[in-house]
């Protein structure tokens, strides 16, 4: 029998002879991955620096970020609720040099308000298609709210039709203080970007955030008297100028950083008003860039199209103008009023937030609904007009309740597209336009999408 001493020695020997837990190759790999310079954090931080702890911190952050991203549309809608008056939210994107414009339009007082929330919406709203090419007609100005110094889009400054074949859209007569003009870019003109960055293509959300951030900072820095003032920020690259005033070095640096997303250039500027933000290159009356804002839809006199047609005939092109969407929309709403006249009032919550979908989402929604409606034999063709009432308890089709067994499919489509029910919530579809949102008497708040052929 072994003595205790021998047993102990044997134990120690066993332990000493056992393979070690951490191999030298692991250490070599670890050391080689360490920073080259001695810039690691202090000991206290080192104490907790290992992969397990890093993953413990980063994983929850990642999960929270992902959850936040999924929530972002709602957040954006909420944050911009003050901006979402009944009006049209218009995205202005890059205008092609060979843009067409309309002249001598007589616009009647606004009768219908709509909110456009998608970039592509305005493309359709102000699009002229020529030989398969789409050109944007988009221009925004606020006549009464811009000071003379800031108002780059004074109607009086928009020249008459150019001999180059361009058609100018100007001299609107609008019954409200907000009006729309078409920015005109002479054929073949090249906005100067040589000395700066290309005109920014910003998303709806980016622009809203920029607007909010700028207003907040400008007001707190005392650069504007109120956070509803109209602001014109020039970003030539060398010095930020706000409403024609140069900033001191500290503020200039801060605002340069704040407006980095807008880039810079000889003609680069940001126009801000409570109703809109425009970010891009302003050359005279021309604009190239991105914008988002709220505008009433002006019912457009049909003479516009006559003029447009004539102009385009001169250009020798086959035309299809998209400005007639307003008529389509009005006709659709007239149809809706008729079919809903005898329908009991829709039950549901009064929604504070409108439906805010982009072009792709609207296309998806349209396709899904059309497929389901055809499948349920509620429509015979895709050109049939549809008024879907999205009540809390029931969904109606053209004023009639859809059978309960079929409603689940529509609820599923609505859920997929994140459309909630509501007291005034509807989807209205004609052969040319689809609108989703809250249809209050005399007003609409939501998203309208012009259907392409």
Partner 1 sequence: MSVTKQQAFMEAYRSCHEPFVRYCTAIVHGKMATEDLVQDVLLSAYKNYDVLSSDTPLLHYLVRAARNRKVSLWRKSKHRAEFTEDDAAKLKSRETPPDVLLDIQLLYRLIQKLPEAQGDALLLFEISGFSMKEIAIIQDSTEGAIKTKISRGRKLLKQMLSEPESESHSTGFKSNML
Q: Which is nearer to partner 1, 1 or 226 (CB)?
A: 1
From the CB of 6, what's the least distance to partner 1, in Å? 10
Site for partner 1 in 313-352 (CB under 8 A): none
Say whether residue 1 binds partner 1 (CB under 8 A): no
Instruction: List C-alpha distances in Å: 288 to 23, 139, 276, 293, 395.
Output: 62, 10, 15, 15, 43
From the CB of 64, what's the least distance to partner 1, in Å? 23
Site for partner 1 in 262-301 (CB under 8 A): none
Q: Which is nearer to partner 1, 18 or 341 (CB)?
A: 18
Q: How far apart are CA 216 and CA 236, in angstroms?
A: 22
Site for partner 1 in 152-211 (CB under 8 A): none
From the CB of 60, what's the least distance to partner 1, in Å? 17
Residue 222 belongs to what H/E stretch?
A: none
From the CB of 44, what's the least distance to partner 1, in Å? 10
- For residue 71, the 8-state DSSP code is H
Name 311's Cβ contacts closer than 8 Å, sequence gap at least 6: 100, 161, 165, 167
Selected range binding partner 1 among 1-9, 137-145, 251-259, 405-413, rule: CB under 8 A? 1-9
Q: Which of 1, 16, 342, 377: binder of partner 1 (CB under 8 A)?
A: 16
Q: How far apart are CA 324 and CA 322, in angstroms?
A: 5
Site for partner 1 in 17-76 (CB under 8 A): 17-22, 24, 26-28, 30-32, 34-38, 40, 43, 46-50, 52
Torsion of CA 174, 214, 115, 121, to 10 degrees: 100
From the CB of 37, what's the least distance to partner 1, in Å? 6
Q: Which is nearer to partner 1, 15 or 194 (CB)?
A: 15
Question: SS3 for 395?
Answer: strand
Q: Which is nearer to partner 1, 12 or 68 (CB)?
A: 12
Name the phi and psi angles at 2, rounded to 5: -75, 145
How large is the angle between the packed helices 404-416 and 359-375, nearest 10 degrees?
Answer: 170
Selected range binding partner 1 among 12-20, 131-139, 155-163, 391-399, rule: CB under 8 A? 12-20
Q: How far apart are CA 388 and CA 358, in angstroms?
A: 20
Size of the site for partner 1 (CB under 8 A): 36
Identify any residues that bridge with 402 across adjacent strands, giving them in sequence order. Answer: none
Q: How far apart are CA 294 and CA 303, in angstroms?
A: 25
Question: SS3 for 276?
Answer: strand
Q: Which is nearer to partner 1, 19 or 222 (CB)?
A: 19
**Two tokens, residue 16:** 């000493």
From the CB of 29, what's the least distance to partner 1, in Å? 11
**Which residues here bind partner 1, judged by CB under 8 A?**
4-5, 7-8, 10-12, 14-22, 24, 26-28, 30-32, 34-38, 40, 43, 46-50, 52
């Amino acid at each position: 029998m072994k003595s205790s001493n021998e047993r102990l020695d044997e134990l120690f020997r066993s332990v000493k002879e056992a393979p070690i837990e951490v191999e030298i190759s692991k250490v070599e790999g670890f050391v080689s991955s360490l920073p080259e310079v001695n810039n690691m954090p202090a000991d206290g931080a080192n104490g907790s620096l290992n992969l397990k702890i890093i993953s413990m911190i980063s994983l929850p952050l990642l999960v929270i970020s992902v959850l936040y991203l999924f929530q972002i549309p709602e957040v954006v809608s909420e944050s911009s609720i003050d901006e979402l008056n009944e009006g049209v939210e218009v995205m202005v994107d890059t205008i092609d040099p060979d843009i067409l414009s309309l002249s001598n339009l007589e616009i009647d007082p606004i009768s219908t308000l709509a909110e456009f929330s998608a970039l592509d919406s305005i493309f359709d709203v102000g699009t002229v298609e020529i030989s398969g090419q789409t050109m944007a007609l988009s221009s925004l100005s606020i006549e009464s709210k811009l000071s003379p110094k800031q108002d780059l889009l004074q109607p009086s400054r928009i020249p008459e039709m150019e001999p180059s074949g361009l058609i100018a859209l100007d001299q609107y007569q609008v019954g409200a203080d907000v009006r729309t003009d078409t920015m005109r870019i002479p054929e073949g003109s090249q906005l100067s970007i040589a000395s700066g960055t290309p005109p920014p293509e910003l998303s709806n959300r980016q622009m809203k955030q920029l607007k909010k951030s700028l207003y907040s900072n400008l007001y707190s820095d005392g650069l504007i008297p109120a956070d509803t003032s109209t602001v014109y920020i020039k970003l030539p690259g060398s010095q930020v100028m706000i409403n024609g005033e140069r900033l001191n070095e500290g503020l200039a640096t801060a605002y340069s950083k704040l407006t980095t997303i807008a880039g810079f250039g000889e003609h680069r500027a940001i126009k801000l008003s409570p109703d809109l933000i425009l970010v891009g290159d302003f050359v005279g009356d021309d604009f190239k860039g991105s914008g988002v804002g709220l505008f009433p839809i002006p019912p457009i006199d049909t003479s516009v199209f006559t003029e447009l047609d004539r102009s385009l005939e001169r250009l020798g092109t086959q035309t299809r103008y998209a400005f007639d969407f307003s008529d389509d929309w009005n006709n659709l709403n007239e149809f809706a009023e008729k079919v809903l006249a005898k329908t009991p009032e829709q039950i549901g919550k009064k929604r504070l937030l409108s439906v805010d979908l982009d072009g792709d989402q609207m296309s998806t929604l349209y396709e899904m609904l059309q497929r389901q409606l055809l499948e349920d034999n509620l429509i015979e063709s895709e050109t049939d007009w549809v008024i879907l009432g999205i009540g809390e308890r029931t969904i109606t089709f053209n004023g009639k309740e859809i059978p309960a067994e079929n409603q689940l499919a529509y609820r599923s489509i609505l859920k997929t597209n994140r459309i909630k029910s509501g007291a005034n919530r509807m989807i209205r579809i004609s052969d040319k336009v689809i609108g989703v949102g809250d249809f209050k008497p005399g007003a609409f708040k939501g998203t309208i999408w012009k259907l392409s052929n």
